[in-house]
Amino acid sequence: MPYKTSPSSDPASAWLRTRPCPCCGSDTKREIQTLGSFQFYCDAEPPTVVDVRTVVCKECWALFMDPVYTDHGSAALFELAGQSYGSEPGRHQEQITFLKRSCKSWPPEEIVDLGCYDGGFLRAAGDSTHRVGIDPDRRAIGRARISDPGGSYRIGSLESFALDDSPSLVSMIHVLEHLRDPIAALAKIFEAGSQDTQVFVEVPLLENHQPGDIHGFFSPQHLTHFTRTSLQRVVKESGWKILAWEEVRDYNGCRVLLGKAKV
């Protein structure tokens, strides 16, 4: 069933809201570019149209989207985006190789994959680990449950998720850039996790953007446009320490393993 657009007489008010800098909390910012009249992947009448604005923080120079999608707007965007996102074949095995090299031990007792999509990463992790996947896309979760009946998959928000216990590993593969408050998400995992909990993050970096149209990096689906400096700041502000860092430039993925103490 197609996503129902808001009946509001001013649809933008239901889809967008302002926010401070996601890296330092400052409200001083300057506009970099605006993608005017971005339409939400459908031909609804009236069409759902918003202006997507990229700004730079005047305090820490982080790049981010402001105004940003509300819960309603985010849910609609990703449902309507459908198959326009997901991992390329073979990437999950590369990620597993990085984790085998970087984690304290492999396989972990349990992996919670936030933004699991159709469960591809968890399937690649193997049956010897307890697999939990959380994603707001109900269609993707349905496919994950069919393809990986041994895993546990549930529909849930990536902004207000809950962890049932202290997992060995939490993965967030191309998730942080889609969140309104990446520091809060990482801090929540920090509080819920044990001393041994580790977090695997992968995001695109501005420094590794392929030559060509820069608008491809400032995607309407990305709420924070990370650089090396802003990613490091978000990690530090959330309480975590960086244990391993790897930049994969052929498709722009920066892989980082986080822990509570250096090893």
pLDDT tens digits, one per residue of 186-222: 999 999 999 999 999 999 999 988 766 555 678 888 9
Going by C-alpha positions, the residue among 99, 78, 67 that lies closest to residue 246 is: 99
Going by C-alpha positions, the residue among 173, 175, 194 that lies closest to residue 260 is: 194
What pLDDT was estimated at residue 3? 34
3-state secondary structure 70-117: CHHHHHHHHHHHHHHCCCCCCHHHHHHHHHHHHCCCCCCCEEEEECCC
Q: Could you tell me the pLDDT band of residue 5, with boundaries at 50, 70 and 90?
A: very low
3-state secondary structure 113-169: EECCCCCHHHHHHCCCCEEEEEECCHHHHHHHHHHCCCCEEEECCCCCCCCCCCCCE
- With 70 as the cut, is the pLDDT of residue 179 above it? yes
- With 50 as the cut, is the pLDDT of residue 13 above it? yes
What pLDDT was estimated at residue 9? 43
Q: What percent of the chain has pLDDT over 70?
A: 84
Q: What is the mean pLDDT of the chain?
A: 86
What pLDDT was estimated at residue 6? 41
What pLDDT was estimated at residue 86? 58
- With 60 as the cut, is the pLDDT of residue 41 above it? yes
- The model's pTM is 0.88
Side chain identity at residue 126, one-letter code: G
